[in-house]
Amino acid sequence: MKHIHSGKVRDLYELDGGDILLVASDRVSVYDVSLPTPVPDKGALLTQLSAWWFDRLSHVVPNHVISTTDVPAEFAGRAVRCKPLQMIQVECIARGYLVGLGLREYRRDGAVSGVQLPSGLVEADRLPEPIFTPTTKISETGHDEFMTFGDVVNMVGKETADRLRDLTIEIYQAGAEHALKNGIIIADTKLEFGIDSDGVLTLGDEVLTSDSSRFWPADEWTPGRTQHAFDKQYVRDWSMTTGWDQTPPGPAMPPEVVEATRQRYVEVYERITGKKWDDREAV
């Protein structure tokens, strides 16, 4: 097993034979800083949630998952064995609500990533229909940049661009509809696609987790103000009480904050999958 890359919250390995191993850690990042205190089970919760979505969405698009159980024992439960893909250099983002940098763009241009929106929308409003707002990671500045759909067509060709857009919207809509029935708004999500060894367009990375999406509690949704993230908000709010200046190193979390945060991740998993976290099969 060859270690390829360590991130702030995940690690990447190449297994003998060429399969890829994505390992989620229990580390939590807030305001771009990884905190020193892990949240037990966070990596497993997000891995299992992503695996559940991959399975549920497998009729929409093939995915890169080979197994979540045939993994090295030390990573059991929080790792995914994946097919190696050649990745398309477009991050496919679907938005169902007006928030974040999209809101900033809308206030300036009345549009997000070239998609014109109705006037009069306020922060956190639900959009008339989900929109595709891709970014690219090939910027020479080292920062991802918003693209228009026309840019995507120019990069990958019209046929692939159409497919990326349609799949992204279909996956977001399916996920958002299911989550909303269970009290969670998925405001937006990021998907990554690649091409497998047979030339098939394939969904990679992770899907519809709270790391790759913005989750809000539906019963607290109030357009016109900032919404609170379902799981990370507790950590964010706590960190603001510590006097921390949001630069490294982050503050150590006390046990009660760790447990409360863990419970929020468990609640997201249980609401979406309909399964009890403590009842899962031992891995």
Partner 1 sequence: MEERQHYSSKHLIEDVVGLLKARGLEPQRDPALRWDRSIGASRLLRGLGIADLEDHQGALDPDSSINYNRRIHGD
Structure tokens at 84: 């190696």
Dihedral, 162, 192, 105, 211 alpha carbons, nearest 10: 150
Q: Which residues, 135 to 164, sit near partner 1 by CB under 8 A?
A: 135-141, 143-145, 151, 154-157, 159-160
Near partner 1 by CB under 8 A, which window of 1-9, 170-178, 250-258, 264-272?
A: 1-9
3-state secondary structure (DSSP) of residue 84: coil
Rounded Cα distance, 280 and 236, in Å: 29
Return the exposure string of 14-47: e unless at least 16 CB atoms fall within 10 Å of the residue's CB, then b.
ebeeebbbbbbbbbbebeebbbebbbebbbbbbb
Three-class DSSP category at 2 = strand
β-strands 33-34, 184-195: how paired? Answer: unpaired
Stretch that binds partner 1, among 115-123, 209-217, 247-255, 262-270 (CB under 8 A): 209-217
Q: Site map for partner 1, 26-65, x if CB under 8 A? A: ---x-xx-x-------------------------------
* Shortest reach from residue 281's CB to partner 1, in Å: 26
In the complex with partner 1, which residue's Cβ is closer, 164 or 179? 164
Binders in 172-191 for partner 1, by CB under 8 A: 188, 190
Residue 29 vs 37, nearer CB to partner 1: 29
Of these, 43, 204, 250, 251, which contacts partner 1 (CB under 8 A)?
204
* Upstream peptide bond of 249 is cis (omega within 30 degrees of 0): yes
Of these, 58, 67, 69, 89, which contacts partner 1 (CB under 8 A)?
89
Nearest-10 crossing angle of helices 255-273, 158-181: 110
Closest separation in Å from C-beta 168 to partner 1 = 14
d(CA 105, CA 90) in angstroms, rounded, equals: 19
Work out whether 9 is an interface residue with partner 1 (CB under 8 A). Answer: yes
The site for partner 1 (CB under 8 A) is made up of 4-12, 14, 20, 22, 29, 31-32, 34, 84-89, 93, 99-102, 104, 135-141, 143-145, 151, 154-157, 159-160, 188, 190, 192, 194-195, 199, 201, 204-206, 209, 211-212, 214
